[in-house]
Amino acid sequence: MTDYLPEAVRAGLEEARRRDLRRRSRLRVVAGDAVYPVLRYWEAGFSLDADQVAGLRGLVDLYDGTRHLYQCLIVASEVEAGELICVMKRATAAHDQAPLDYVRDETAPAGYLPRR
């Protein structure tokens, strides 16, 4: 069906599709001071709007709204159909506290009362 549409109509439909993907997605990538909305996300990578970012490599942070999800290492990126496809080597889950280096006793009290 798209073979018979004029080029201007196809470009308008593609722009509307990308705008809809940006609006629906809460995911965003933070690379330094720059913030980019994620169009699509899958286990091994994600895609960004190629008009907003030319290329992206290195360590970035992935957020869902304000919640920090992953710290990702991007090893490759290429433009495909107006999207920048980023391939991740690793995605380390972000934690809100440091991991313990000892086993916590489950029967230990939650806190101690001070002496007077």
CATH, residue 58: 2.40.10
Q: With respect to residue 63, please indicate whether it lies within any of the assigned structural domains.
A: yes
Q: With respect to residue 66, please indicate whether it lies within any of the assigned structural domains.
A: yes
| pLDDT band of 49, cuts 50, 70, 90 | confident
- Amino acid letter, 7: E
Q: With respect to residue 47, please indicate whether it lies within any of the assigned structural domains.
A: yes
Q: What is the mean pLDDT of residues 95-114?
A: 83
CA gap 86, 84 in Å, rounded: 6
* Secondary structure class of 11 (helix, strand, coil): helix
Q: Which domain holds residue 76?
A: 2-93
Q: What is the mean pLDDT of residues 39-49?
A: 89
Q: With respect to residue 28, please indicate whether it lies within any of the assigned structural domains.
A: yes
Q: With respect to residue 116, please indicate whether it lies within any of the assigned structural domains.
A: no
- Is a pLDDT exceeding 60 seen at residue 2? no
